[in-house]
Amino acid sequence: MISKKKTLQMLDVIDDMFPDAECELIHENPFELTIAVLLSAQCTDVLVNKVTKNLFQKYKTPEDYLAVPLEELMQDIRSIGLYKNKAKNIQALCKILLEKYNGEIPESHTELVKLPGVGQKTANVVVSVAFGIPALAVDTHVERVSKRLGICRWKDNVKQVEETLCNKIPKSRWNKTHHQLIFFGRYHCTARNPKCMDCPLLNDCREGKKRYKVIVE
Ligand code: SF4
């Protein structure tokens, strides 16, 4: 693994590449964000935004989601993967929000992860994006990029990746870094064809050096 100092140098480069990185899930409040993040599991933000454009017109409150039969909600999100489970989770979540939280999304990470369909990553995104609380959510892009660059170990699981990132990066940078690593992974260091030959980190990147060993050395 690379050092804390080297990690921050790399993040500075990524900061220059994507200074305006931010959450790409369209939402107007913490409740909509939570629904959007829940829908985004194993699905692209682009597709989620397409679906939520109509969804958020039709359903504005937890009561709205509970006022329709489950089958109707399933139909409204059917173009999204795992839509049956996600619809069930949304209604279960809305019920708990009304019973325990006065219909509002709780700001506490501990409370959020107790909600149906809300795991560690979703809770981290909600607290950081909706409430500005420092958190570093690890999605597929963050994990892949962190491992390729050598910030984390290849064998690390998601929890270990999050711990390592939080140890190496100052808390004040967590929220911004989360979005920048996602942009870097989504638009530059992509899963299938990373733009190594056009990458300012190529000479320091263990994955890039492996792929283009002859050229770099
Ligand atoms: Fe990703 Fe390639 Fe750049 Fe490494 S060199 S960070 S693998 S694009």
Is the pLDDT confidence value at 138 over 80? yes
Please tell me the distance from the alpha carbon of residue 168 to that of residue 199, in angstroms, as a whole number.
22
Is the minimum distance from the CB of 148 to ligand 1 under 6 angstroms? yes
Question: How many other CB atoms sit within 10 Å of the CB of residue 4?
Answer: 13
Q: Which residues are catalytic?
A: 121, 139
Spatial CB neighbours of 4, under 8 Å, sequence gap ≥ 6 = 167, 168
Q: Is 196 one of the annotated binding-site residues? A: yes
CATH fold of 4-21+137-216: Endonuclease Iii, domain 2 (1.10.1670)
pLDDT (0 to 100) of residue 215: 55
Mean pLDDT of the chain: 95
**pLDDT at 64 exceeding the cut of 70:** yes
Q: Whole-angstrom Cα distance, residue 81 to residue 47?
A: 10
> What is the Cα Rg of the chain in Å?
19
| Mean pLDDT confidence for 171-185 | 96
The predicted pLDDT at position 210 comes to 87
Query: Does residue 201 have its Cβ closer than 6 Å to ligand 1?
Result: yes
Stretch 151-160: mean pLDDT: 96
Residue 42's pLDDT band, with cuts at 50, 70 and 90, is confident
Boundaries of CATH 1.10.1670.10 in the chain?
4-21+137-216
Q: How far apart are the first and last CA of the chain?
A: 20
Give the lowest-confidence range in 22-31, 62-71, 194-203, 204-213. Answer: 204-213
Instruction: Tell me where in the chain the CATH 1.10.340.30 domain(s) lie.
Output: 30-131
Q: Is the CB of 149 under 6 A from ligand 1?
A: yes
Q: Whose C-alpha lies nearest to ligand 1, atom 7?
A: 208
CATH superfamily of 30-131: Hypothetical protein; domain 2 (1.10.340.30)
Percentage of the chain exceeding pLDDT 90? 94
Task: Identify the pLDDT of residue 211.
Answer: 85
Contacts of 217 (CB under 8 A, 6+ apart): 209
Cα 189 to ligand 1 centroid, rounded to whole Å: 5
